[in-house]
Structures are given as C-alpha cells and as structure tokens.
Amino acid sequence: MSSTSTQAWRGIAAEEVEEVPSDWTGLLRRRTRRLIGSVARPHKRAIVLITIAIVVSNLAATAIPYLVGLGIDRGIAGARHHDYVPIAVITGLIAICALLQALLYRVFVSGSGRVGQEIILQLRERVFAHFQRLSLAFHEHYTTGRMIARLTSDFESINDMFNLGLDTLVNSVLSVVGVGTILLVLDLPLGLVCLSGFVPLYFLSRWYQRESTKAYRVTRNAMAQVIVQFTESLRGIRAVHAFRRAPRNDEIFGELSEGYRAAMSRSFQLLGIYWPGIVLVGNITTAAVLLYGGWRVIGGEMEVGVLTSFVLYLRRFFEPLAEVSQFYDSFQAAAAGFEKLAGVLDEDPGVPMPAHGAPLPAGGLKGAVTFSNVRFAYREGANVLAGFDLDIPAGQTVALVGETGAGKSTVARLLARFYDPTEGKVTIDGIPLEALDQHSLRRAVAMVTQESFIFSGTIADNIAFGSPDASEEQIISAARAVGVDSFVHTLGDGYESDVGKSGSRLSAGQRQLVALARAFLADPAVLILDEASSSLDAPMERLVQSALRTVLADRTAVIIAHRLSTVEIADRVLVLDSGHIVEDGPPGRLLAEGRGHYASLHAAWRDSLV
Ligand SMILES: Nc1ncnc2c1ncn2[C@@H]1O[C@H](COP(=O)(O)OP(=O)(O)OP(=O)(O)O)[C@@H](O)[C@H]1O
Ligand SMILES: [Mg+2]
C-alpha cells in the first residue's frame, strides 16, 4: 500500500543517508587521525600524566592478588611460628597498593573527563565556526538533518567514549596484559591453561566484530532516516497541516522507526551471544585451573597461595574482556563521529575571506560597482551569466527587472559575495570583492531578500543583528526610517517585544520591515533589495518607498522587484533576460521609447492592477 511513496520519499532522503565505513581502517582515515591529533595536541602534557596515572594504578591493582597469595603462603606460615614481620609487611603493602590504586584512578577519571570535555568544547566551537563559513553552495546540499546530526549525535558518541569507553578500554587492556604476564610468571603450565581460553575467545571476538560492524551500519542508516523524516516533517509543519498530511507522515515515521528498532534489536542479540560466551569461557577456564592446579598442589608442585592468586587473577582477566566487547559499539560510534566531523572540517569554504583585506580608501567606500566579463553557473555547464558586464556609478539607484529565472537574484548574490564568479570580477570602488576581509565586506554590501530571516529575540535585537554596537537611538531611528514604528506599539513591549521563533509572531510584511531596518542600520555602501517589499500592502509600500528615497539618496542601491511601482524611485532600469542586459536607461525614457521590454513589462504590470 504505502511502498511506492515511501520509495519516492527514500529517493529524496538518499543523500541524507550517509556511508558508514565497514571497518576500522575505513573509520580511522588519515583526516580522522589528523583531526584527533590536532585536538589532542594542546593537552599533550595532561594526556601523558593521565596515562602514567592509569598505568601505575593498574600495576598497583594487579599486585594485590599476588600479595594475597604471598600472604597466605609466607605471612600465615610465619605467623604460625610467631614471626609476624612478613604478614605485617605484606598487609602494609596491600594497603599501600589499594590506596595508590584508588588515588591514581581518581586522577585518571577526573583528568580524562576534564580533557575529554575540553576537547569536545573546542571541537564543537570549531565545527560551528566552520559550518558558518562554508559557502551557500555547501549549505544548499548539506541538509539540516545532517547538520543536526553533526552537532548532536556525533558529539554524543564522542562524549560517551570519553565518559565510559576510554576508561574501560584502557583499564581492560592494561589488566589483561598485566595479568596475563603475571600468570605466566607465577606458574608457567597453569598460566598456559589460562591463556588457552584465548583461542575460543579470539574466534568469538572476530565473529562479533564482523557482525556488530554490519549491524552498526544498518542501525546508523536507520537512525539517519528517522532523523530526516522527523526534521523534514516538522520544519514543513505548515505544509503538513495545509495538506492534512499528518496521518501519512505517521505511517512513514512508523515504518522507519520500526526499521530502527529491528536494527537495534539485532545489535542486542549479537551482544546476547557474545557476552555470555565470554563468561562461559572464563568459568570453564576457572574450573580447569582449579582442577589442574589442585592436582598440582596435592602433588606438592605448587602452593595453595599461588593457586588462590590464580583464581583471583582469573576474575580480573575475563571480566575486562567482556566489558571491552560492550564498548566496542561505543568506540565504533565515536570513530564514525570523528570521521564525519573531519569530513565537514575538510570542506573548503567556497568563498574564502582574507584575514587582512585590501585597505579601504580614506573616507570609506563610495560604492561604485562593476561586473566585468562575469561568468557564473550554479552547476557545471549551466551558465546563468556569461560575459556579464555592468557599471554602476557610486550613489546610483538601479532597478533590476526581468522575467522569473532571468538571473536577477544571481546578480545580487554575486554582488553580496554569496558566491564567487566562475570567471571575471566583481569590484566595489575598483577593489575586487574577494580582496575584502570580513569587516570591510560588511561595510561594503548588505542584502535584504524576500525571505527575510528573523531570529528569536526582540525587535531591537533583530534590527541590530548586523550592527551589534548600535545604540538604542540608532536602532529606533532606523526603525522609523522604514516604518517599523508604525506597528511596533501594537506588540506590547515595543522594541523589546519578543518576536517568537523565526519571527512567527510578526506578519510577513512586518518581518520585511524589520529586515529593511536591519539593513539601513548596517549602513553599507551598497544596498541590495531583492523583492524586499513584496509582502507589503500598497499603502505600506508607498510609505517605505518615500523613506527609501531619502535613505538611498547618497548610497548605491540595487532594487529587484516584480511590482514596478517600486522601480519608480530608480535612477536607472536594467532589464535582464536569460542573464543578459537587454535594456538600460532611466525608467522615464524606457517607457517613453515605447515598444521595448521594459515598456511591455510595465504595460503588463499596469494591466494586472485593474
Ligand atoms: N541555488 C541554485 N542552484 C541552482 N540553480 C539555481 C539556484 N538559484 C537559481 N538557480 C537557477 O539560476 C537561474 C536564475 O535564477 P535567479 O534566482 O537569478 O532568477 P531571478 O531572475 O531572480 O528570478 P525570480 O524573479 O523568480 O526571483 C534560474 O534558472 C534558476 O533555476
Ligand atoms: Mg529572484
């Protein structure tokens, strides 16, 4: 019943479902190792200290069963003959070892926790900063679901590794190696009996590793699909309500969640075989040691204390192995998390900004714009602009008109440096845009678009978004200039009113006015308005227009609008058709000349009004 639409939906989500490498070498690729190295480097000293602490703590812990055996064989024997020195020395040593172990283990736990959290903090900041700098082209294909996964579940798995996994792994490896050595030294034949338990364990572990990696991939893909369906449905909640899509979405979500449940339950089943398997091997080995050891004790080849140490050691031998297996998944997840983050950090910001840009002219930018021989394509081979030339003298107000898809927004985005041209140059006052640093570029251009984004916070916060240092008076005067003051008093708290998530408490027109105020306050040399007043009603638009006349008087401006009333304030109109300028001149003249593109656009627009 639902398979076809689920299939179609899966098609959309296909890029969301990420490749999970199938083995360790795949997980720990070079860039991953480089990333881990670079985040660990600042903590080198702490890491060395923590390592020493855990090694010594383990040595102390490992010595205890040996000392117990010694106490039984030598201490008690001595005490029987009223020689209390050995037992006193041995119990003293046991106490010291116990204290040392506890103390150093504390150093390890708190130290690795602290370093782990610092590394995560650093990495989180780096990933966020990098995401912000990545080009719009990157953000167009990297979906929100994946971004959220980067900043949440990847970090969670790394966090889990630092909290639990690392501790267990280091402890277990050290105990197994240490105990294994001691067993062989204490009594070689009995030691070999213990180690023979490793043979079935080896095969069991190989099997588990292979199967759990497979299961992990399935789980991760299933989880990715659940996240995508969740975020996409809820981000599009208005469309979901408008088309009464909730029941169908429930079905799809149910199917995907069921897939995730099935994948998870497979993981648990694997663990359900592996863990008891290890315990079984451990217990059988203990029985064998007791049998063979007892026989040797009876034969006088071995002392009871040594056998006691053996049995005590065996617990410290197989238990950690079982624990390591449990954390194999957590390592796998953390390694995959690191790999994904390394992948993001490896992405080139498409529009790199120099740290030290070209010096600005004394007296600031004037705002003369040129496009010379610009070629641009969003996708290879599909030029939107080819050989595009344009000169805008400083201070001119230019209206860019043309049919849908003509390339108007593309020209605007190149001017705002959302993208770099494939060929050619865009300059302001003769300075190529890519020579300007972050700060200068902010002074140079600002763009207001149709989907003016409003952040959660107050009206004042939103107006000051591009100029965090603005004073209250400046904010209010920018608001007045574009007419925000006409509605701000209806909001309860005036400029301090909360606009809700994404400005949801404002109407579409009110959001545009706030966005316009934001741009005016930023006071750029070149202001670009792309359908920036499309949501305003006619009276409001006229009001904004009269404000624009004064605000744009000494500023270069590029205005894109389908409503040609907006264009009347322009000094010059450019008609764009398939990426080429087909008409260029003052609006009055283009109209007077009659039969051109602008005249027919204008006539069509006039007709649409009546
Ligand atoms: N992000 C993008 N990725 C790929 N192609 C795009 C992208 N944005 C625009 N295009 C394509 O580039 C061409 C020009 O689009 P542009 O947005 O510049 O048109 P426009 O003149 O602003 O149209 P409208 O009046 O509808 O806003 C169109 O063919 C469009 O399909
Ligand atoms: Mg457009």
Per-residue pLDDT tens digits for 329-368: 778 888 888 888 888 898 888 788 888 888 888 788 899 9
Q: Is residue 284 part of a domain?
A: yes
Region 476-498 average pLDDT: 88
Quick one: 305 and 381 in the same domain? no
**Percent of residues, the chain, with pLDDT higher than 70:** 95
Q: Is residue 288 part of a domain?
A: yes
Q: Are 71 and 87 in contact (CB under 8 A)?
A: yes
Alpha-carbon radius of gyration of the chain: 35
Quick one: 246 and 288 in the same domain? yes
Quick one: 308 and 433 in the same domain? no
Distance of CA 348 to the CA centre of its chain: 15
Q: Is residue 481 part of a domain?
A: yes
- Ligand positioned closest to the Cα atom of 402: 1
Q: Are 343 and 150 in contact (CB under 8 A)?
A: no
Atom 24 of ligand 1: nearest residue by CA position? 404
Q: Which two three-digit tokens encode residue 63? A: 């010595």
Pair type for strands 526-530 and 445-448 = parallel
Q: Is residue 253 part of a domain?
A: yes
What residue numbers bound the domain in which 258 lies?
23-346
Atom 12 of ligand 1: nearest residue by CA position? 384
Q: Which two three-digit tokens encode residue 359? A: 């010096």
Domains contained in the chain, number: 2
DSSP H helices in 378-501: 408-415, 438-444, 459-463, 472-482, 485-488
Quick one: 78 and 126 in the same domain? yes
Which atom of ligand 1 lies nearest, measured to the CA of 140? 1
pLDDT at residue 206, as a whole number: 85
Quick one: 197 and 325 in the same domain? yes
pLDDT at residue 27, as a whole number: 53
Quick one: 420 and 379 in the same domain? yes
Distance (Å) from CA 406 to ligand 1 centroid? 7
Q: Is residue 361 part of a domain?
A: no
Q: Is residue 506 part of a domain?
A: yes
pLDDT at residue 23, as a whole number: 54
Quick one: 453 and 512 in the same domain? yes
Q: Are 557 and 397 in contact (CB under 8 A)?
A: yes
pLDDT at residue 25, as a whole number: 54
CATH number at residue 295: 1.20.1560.10
- CB environment 66-87: b (16+ within 10 A), e (fewer): bbbbbbbbbbeebeeeeeeebb
Q: Considering 346, 380, 408, which residue would you say is the last residue of a domain? A: 346
The answer to whether the CB of 410 is under 6 A from ligand 1 is yes
CATH number at residue 503: 3.40.50.300
Quick one: 281 and 394 in the same domain? no
What does 84-119 look like in DSSP terms, one character per residue? -HHHHHHHHHHHHHHHHHHHHHHHHHHHHHHHHHHH
The answer to whether the CB of 404 is under 6 A from ligand 1 is yes
Q: Are 165 and 327 in contact (CB under 8 A)?
A: yes
Q: Is residue 542 part of a domain?
A: yes
The answer to whether the CB of 140 is under 6 A from ligand 1 is yes
**pTM of the full predicted structure?**
0.75
Neighbours of 141 (CB within 10 A): 8
Average pLDDT score, the chain: 85
Distance of CA 378 to the CA centre of its chain: 24
Nearest to 487 by CA among 530, 430, 425, 539: 539
Residue 144 has pLDDT above 60, yes or no: yes
Quick one: 418 and 275 in the same domain? no
Q: Is 583 left (phi over 0), alpha (psi -120 to 50) or beta?
A: beta
Quick one: 260 and 160 in the same domain? yes
Instruction: Provide the pLDDT confidence category of residue 6 given band limits of 50, 70 and 90.
Output: very low
Which atom of ligand 1 lies nearest, measured to the CA of 579? 14
Nearest to 417 by CA among 408, 426, 430, 429: 426
Nearest to 532 by CA among 420, 423, 431, 412: 412
Quick one: 445 and 565 in the same domain? yes
pLDDT tens digits for range 557-596:
999 988 887 788 899 999 999 999 999 999 888 888 777 8
Which atom of ligand 1 lies nearest, measured to the CA of 408? 21
The answer to whether the CB of 384 is under 6 A from ligand 1 is yes
Q: Is residue 11 part of a domain?
A: no
The answer to whether the CB of 407 is under 6 A from ligand 1 is yes
Residue with tokens 């049919």: 403
pLDDT at residue 472, as a whole number: 92
The answer to whether the CB of 101 is under 6 A from ligand 1 is no
